[in-house]
Amino acid sequence: MTPLTKTHRTAPCTRWHLGYAAAVTAALAACSPTERDALEPVSATRSAITPCSAGSDVRNLPTSADVTSAIKDMVYRTPGPIISRFKQDGTPNPKFPSGKVVVLPFETPDFPRNPAITPGTIYSEFFPAGTLTGLTINNYFYENSWGQFQIKNGGISDWVTLSKNLKDYVGFEGDDQVPRDVLKKANINWAALDTNNDKTITPAEAQIVFLVANGYSAATRGFTSWATGSPVALSSLANVTTPNGTFTFLPKVVYIGTKKASDPAYATNPFRIESTICHELGHAFFNLPDRYAAGTCGTGATGQYDMMSNNCSWEHFTIYDKMKIGWIQPPILDAHISQCVTLPASEGSKAALVLAPPPVSASPKNEYFIVENRYKPASGCNGCMLFTPANGVFDTGLPESGLAIWWVQTGGGVNGYDDVRLIDASKGSIDPDGTTPIGGANPGYVNQGLGALYKQDGLNHILVDSTGGWSLLWFTAVSNPGYNVYAQF
Ligand SMILES: [Zn+2]
């Protein structure tokens, strides 16, 4: 690690020395975000900072020698309520989902079936892999996991016809009565999915998707028998009679609307919003939280750069979620190493970098940063598309491409989740979680849209912690968006 010895500063923020973290923090607190970005440990003027253009691939960087096992455990494990491939000790988690998905279409007198939904169209939407002419839900997960997770056909039932109107079910999308009535009739081989023959279908054994002929449903709901945080647990799916025997169902269930036959697109695009299916399965498989605010796509602390916030269009899961699920363990640096590094686009390359505050930093020890290159055209689902659109496949809803830097506070979110924020480059170096809740006057980074990613700007940037103080980490010389982005860390 490079010794922290440089001395610099300009008015109005007084002279500081990197060895005096507390003094630096105090000095920086008096500066505006713009002044902070001008403040860095480099004496060059802004215009003199040119982007760097070559350096080690982050995938080959060693983790800093003095990063403790406690920090590694916090970063790589400690997923909170998120379901990880690994237990805390690093061994495989038997509760991790198998990827099997059961799809159950049902109709009611008030919401008759869309005849375009058949076992064949359901299969085509969810399960195929390999080179295809269209998107599949499977390929979304395949790309997001860098080939480590695929969804599999756990069974597709014929249409189930209920005799009662949907509007007459009290608490639909929350109550157990609709799922019970559908499961009672659906022709699924649950015994084959119940791998340990305990008459209980666990989240590891299968996920369950109900296709609702109402044209609008998009929800995931849990049950009291498997309480796993948000969304709140509801009634029980214990001892449900099915044509295949009596089973207890523990997984959260997903409701997805299919277009009504009156919709002009009912036949050509019969599922309501394909990206939202991936969002809901993010809840069901991995217990990922909703990150939008006030129920609006693309809002909240991860803004328009996260499928768990912006499910109205195609975005990847955040690099944070991919790491907590256990698909990537980026190297951890705990100092500014003064090296230009290469960040390949994370859509196609298993590449990212974690930055932890140096041991001498006064920053809270439960905070760190993750860096990734989001480049929309790089999403090609590993060549899955016969004719990949020029602007990519599964990250096309991003407002822009560029260097994404995420701030994480372990345990800082609601319901045991971490607080995860995309640092908004357009706002400069501010207290990431602000001083008020997200809806308040000083929310920190929130509702990130155009301008949130870093690109060539001639500036140095410091990374600020939740106290508003400087973590002692900084970066500079960022290049413009591309399959490779270069920056000095
Ligand atoms: Zn959701």
- Compute, in angstroms, the gap from residue 321 CA to the centroid of ligand 1: 14
Q: How far is the CA of 255 from the centre of ligand 1 (A)?
A: 11
Spacing, Cα 229 to ligand 1 middle (Å): 13
Handedness of CA 23, 27, 28, 34 (dihedral sign): negative
Centre of ligand 1 to C-alpha 448, Å, is 18
- Residue at token pair 């008096």: 30
Distance CA 39, CA 84 (A): 39
Distance from the CA of 283 to the center of ligand 1, in angstroms?
Answer: 7
Residues 474, 463 contacting (CB under 8 angstroms): yes
Of the candidates 431, 489, 423, the residue with the CA atom closest to the CA atom of residue 460: 489
CA of 242 to the centre of ligand 1 (A): 28
Q: Which residues of the chain, if any, have pLDDT below 70?
A: 1-31, 34-48, 224-235, 388
CA 292 / ligand 1 centre spacing (Å): 8
Separation of alpha carbons 142 and 132, rounded Å: 14
Ligand 1 centroid–CA 293 distance in Å is: 11
For residue 308, how far is its CA from the centre of ligand 1 (angstroms)?
6
Q: How far is the CA of 316 from the centre of ligand 1 (A)?
A: 14
Q: Tell me, in angstroms, the distance from the centre of ligand 1 to residue 32's CA.
A: 36
Query: What's the CA-to-centroid distance between 281 and ligand 1, angstroms?
Result: 9
The rounded Å distance from CA 209 to ligand 1 centre is 14
Res 276: pLDDT: 96
Alpha helices of 39-99 — where are they, by DSSP H? 69-76
- Report CA(245)–ligand 1 centroid distance (Å): 31
Q: Which two tokens stand for residue 301?
A: 């602390």
CA of 56 to the centre of ligand 1 (A): 38
Query: How far, in Å, is the centroid of ligand 1 from the Cα of 399?
Result: 20
Centroid of ligand 1 to alpha carbon of 290 (angstroms):
5
Q: What is the per-residue pLDDT for 48?
A: 64
CA of 306 to the centre of ligand 1 (A): 11
Model confidence, pTM = 0.92
CA–centroid distance, 2 to ligand 1, in Å, is 43
pLDDT on residue 175: 82
**Exposed, middle or buried, 364 (CB in 10 Å: 0-12/13-18/19+)?**
middle
State whether residue 382 is helix, strand or coil.
helix
Ligand 1 centre distance from Cα of residue 311 (Å): 8
Cα 457 to Cα 404: distance, rounded to the nearest angstrom: 14
Interval between CA 263 and ligand 1 midpoint (Å) = 24
In angstroms, what is the span from residue 220 Cα to ligand 1's centroid? 7
DSSP secondary structure string, 239-280?
A: SEEETTEEEEE-S-EEEEEB--TTSTTTTTS-BS-HHHHHHH
Helix, strand, or coil (residue 304): helix
CA 139 to ligand 1 center in whole angstroms: 20
